[in-house]
Amino acid sequence: MQRIFTFPDDILKQVAAPVRSIDGTLAAFLDEMAQTMYAAPGVGLAAPQVGLSERAIVLDCDSAEERAEGRGRGLLRLINPEIVEAEGSILWEEGCLSVVDFTAEVKRASRVLVRAFTPEQKEVRLEAEGLLAVALQHEIDHLDGKLFIDYLSVLKRTAALAKWKLEAPNYPGYIRRVSLETPDDRRGHEHPEEEL
């Protein structure tokens, strides 16, 4: 399981480098990122959040109903993703695995078209709306050194910082450790369902 770097670690402020080589090592790294994302739990995770400043993300925005019915897109592992089209606007309550225990409404494009590569070196184009569109924008922001709190008003950002100061002692070195737990182990823990 990977460690998740938390605000205000410097790696979260860096612009990530493009991935130059898509190989088995990167594919294994993305699989481990996915395990970390599911265990956290979240719906998206960017490589800088786990200490690799390269342009790679994982997402799984399918609902339990979609999984049960065999619908949805399943796990997405995207390399060098870029938004090539964006339209409309939507307000979405966002959280982040790197900004612990804080959520806020953020205005995003309601629809996006993203171009990326898969671990199989295939170029893909994804049209997305709703949660998937928001998650793609959120994770691609991580690759550009941006956090969702950067979109907030000064007042809301100040509130986030104050809350973080109270939580900081729980994350020495700005590191959040996650482990695989059964659903019964997680009962009693508060997690926003859609942390990105």
Among residues 9, 15, 33, the alpha carbon closest in space to that of 146 is found at 15
Distance CA 158, CA 106 (A): 16
Catalytic-role residue among 120, 123, 129, 139: 139
CA angle 26, 32, 35 (to 5 degrees): 145
Unique residue bearing structure tokens 């997690």: 191
**Two structure tokens written together for 189:** 């823990």
In the residue annotation, 139 being an active-site residue is answered as yes
Distance CA 151, CA 108 (A): 10
Q: How far is CA 93 from CA 64, 106, 166, in A?
A: 19, 6, 22
Catalytic residues: 139
